[in-house]
Amino acid sequence: MSIALPASLANGRYEIGQLIGRGGMAEVHTALDTRLGRTVAVKIMRSDLTNDEIFLSRFRREAHSVAQLNNPNIVSIYDSGEEVLTDEAGNQERVPYLVMEYVKGQTLRAIIKANGALSQRDAEQVMIGVLNALEYSHHMGIIHRDIKPGNIMISEQGIVKVMDFGIARALDDSAATMTQSQGVVGTAQYLSPEQARGENVDMRSDLYSAGCVLYEMLTGRAPFNGDSAVAIAYQHVSEVATPPSAIVPGLPKMWDSICAKAMAKDRQNRYATATEFKNDIMAFMNGGTPVAAAFNPLTDLANMRARKAAEQEAATSTLSPIDEATAATQAFAPLSESGQQLAGVAAQTATQARTRKAEQDAKKRKKKIVISSIASALVLILVALGAWSYLNRDKRDMAAVPEINAQMSKLLAKEKITAAGFQYAEESDPDSAEPEGTFTKQSPKAGSKVKKGSTVTVWFSSGPQSTKIPDVKNLTQEDARNKLEKAGFKVSPSASIEDAGDVDKNRVTRTDPASGQSAPKGSSILLYISSGMTKVPDVANKKQDDARNMLQRFTVTIQKQHSDTVAKDMVISSDPAAGTSIAQGSMITLTVSDGMSLKDVTGKTLSDAKSLLGGVKITVNGPSDDNSVVTGQDPKPGSTIDKDKDTVTLTTKEGAVAVPTVEVGKTTLGEYQQKLSAAGLSMNVTGPTDSSALVQSASPQGNVTKGSIIKVITVNPSSGSGSNPSQNQSPNPNPSSGSSN
């Protein structure tokens, strides 16, 4: 599909100039803002991508993101809109565009490519500008995700400008990387390890990319290079960059520590904020000791690898069995007869033995009581522990629900949920305005504690549904935005201003696309807002009453004026003139014809009278040839008439006619007789009367009354002009015989 770019956008406001940049997604042209008289840059999306909802959403995301940012180190967006263009086949496409601040200068990428490594002072100044921009955007809750030299402009005045929020130029580089859901996550040579692993990013990811840019400014080359984006991404995750001082002899080693800390593999070891990063650079350049001085990149990498290994390894231990002790036995011999003599002694001994045994038994009983008490206490403790363990068995099985986001594919979402110990369920979301297959919501919510093995349901958009655009004319901008968003549409963050005769100032005049048309939910709608000004309509040659109806929203005054060209009660002109922009309700003065003032045409020929009276209807009382003389007129001179309706009566008489001139010696009598007859005159001839006779003279000359007799003297052709007319006079003495008319 080929679509020619128009000469201007937004109804002629932006006059398109030369092409200054081209990417995989858009072209950038200079343009003149005719309303404000300034040069701007207009980024126009490629026409072949206008039907791709993913690219459209990224293009609009850039406008939405940067519209919130107002910082001297960030390229500003002034306006946005969509233009209807027609291709060679006659098909119409809506092509979105952004109107941005025009920065006259070069990208950092072009500067490094042309000049190589920057000086330490220049690198510091550029880096402070970049970190100022990131400090502000992070404060506003926006992560750039694609900090690289190609997205950093240096103006002719040396001002650093960060551009392309929303990764609008992700396809400019062959090294652009994407997630499985085709979400652009950055450029491989400046990619943070967490982006390479497909994890969530935060503002420290931007600081890693900024560290890569600092490294390239100091050395003239990127920290990692490879044959493919995958190879470069692998180095970001698992390798330490060569220290800048090893590449550039004489470069202070403190730069090695600053770059290493910014590019730490573990984001917890990086600078926490852009402010901290900026302060470290300024401290070093001012002779102080930066925080990064104590940082060791090898320790950071080793710790990162150890923690990853620990997460994958579970330690186990076994208990050895305990051997049972065996009990010893002892045999006693039976008592002999010789022993009986010792019975008495034995009896006494037995009594003493029983006494000692009783004492020992008492001690044993006391000891058993103590042991039993201790055992009972231990049993009670064990029972309590068992009960507590039983009552809290569910808590040991609880886990936090992982967070799913719009950049994840269905496969990645399933892997993340099942890896956390949950069952995965997938549903379609028919009410979403996001492109088909985009994550919209989850239940339970991310971060909530639920029992392992329970089901986590994830919804993905089934694609935007078409619906009619509601009518928001005459609503405030806020009410119109709410109504459109409630209907499922997105509203462009910037609105266009236009004059409107029937809508009050600051109210919506129309939408683009227009209300009543069907459009997919999630489509971007542009609002047009009344400026409070309107153009004066053209009411010339309109009836006075019709003109008043057309000017109901204005204060109208009428003044009357004679007109020879405009009919009575018709508008001659307006003040201000038609097409002038004025405030709504302003005063407009209409000049209305009160008719034609009749001119005095008495004494004029009828031809002149008709010319003076213009297109007025005329009746003639008397001779009606153009030479007739007007002797009276009705109505009288100075009267007011309606030229389209009234009739003027002119009274005429025969007018004077001019006597034809004579060329002596050339004009024949026959020729002259024809001229006199045409003028309504007759003649009396003195001399030869045949038609070939030459006219010698005719009198009187000048103007005479129609019907007058002209005296003509003739001679024979052979006599010439010197002949005596008396010699050629007709012998008929009767004057009438020489007359002719």
pLDDT tens figures, 77-111:
888 888 888 777 777 888 888 899 999 999 999 99
Contact 58, 115 (CB under 8 A): no
Is 481 a residue whose pLDDT tops 60? yes
Question: Are the folds of 8-101 and 107-305 the same?
Answer: no
More confident residue, 217 or 381: 217
Q: Is the CATH number 3.30.10.20 carried by domain 535-594? A: yes
Average pLDDT of the chain to the nearest whole number:
80
CATH class of 597-654: alpha beta
pLDDT for res 354:
59
Task: Please name the amino acid found at residue 292.
Answer: A
Catalytic residue among 33, 48, 87, 146: 146
The CATH number assigned to the domain with range 466-531 reads 3.30.10.20
Phi, psi of 695 (to 5 degrees): -80, 125
Residue 367, pLDDT above cutoff 50: yes
Quote the pLDDT of residue 338: 36
What is the rounded CA–CA span in Å between residue 390 and residue 399?
A: 18
Please say whether the beta carbons of 526 and 492 come within 8 A.
yes
Q: Is the pLDDT reported for residue 532 higher than 80?
A: yes
Which CATH number describes the domain made up of 8-101? Answer: 3.30.200.20
Report the C-alpha gap between 336 and 325 in whole angstroms.
36
Q: In what order do the strands lie in the sheet with 647-653?
A: 617-621, 647-653, 629-634
Look at residue 21 and tell me whether its pLDDT is greater than 60. yes
Q: Write the CATH number of the domain with boundaries 402-461.
A: 3.30.10.20
Helix (H, G, I), strand (E, B) or coil at 118: coil
Q: Quick check: 593 and 562 in contact, CB under 8 A?
A: yes
Under 8 Å CB-to-CB from 375, ≥6 apart: which residues? none
Model-level pTM greater than 0.85?
Answer: no
Q: What is the pLDDT of residue 390?
A: 61
To the question of whether residue 636 is assigned a binding role by annotation, the answer is: no
Which residue ranges make up each domain of the chain?
A: 8-101, 107-305, 402-461, 466-531, 535-594, 597-654, 657-740
Per-residue pLDDT, averaged over 261-272, amounts to 92
CATH T-level assignment (fold) for domain 107-305? Transferase(Phosphotransferase); domain 1 (1.10.510)
Known catalytic residue at 256: no
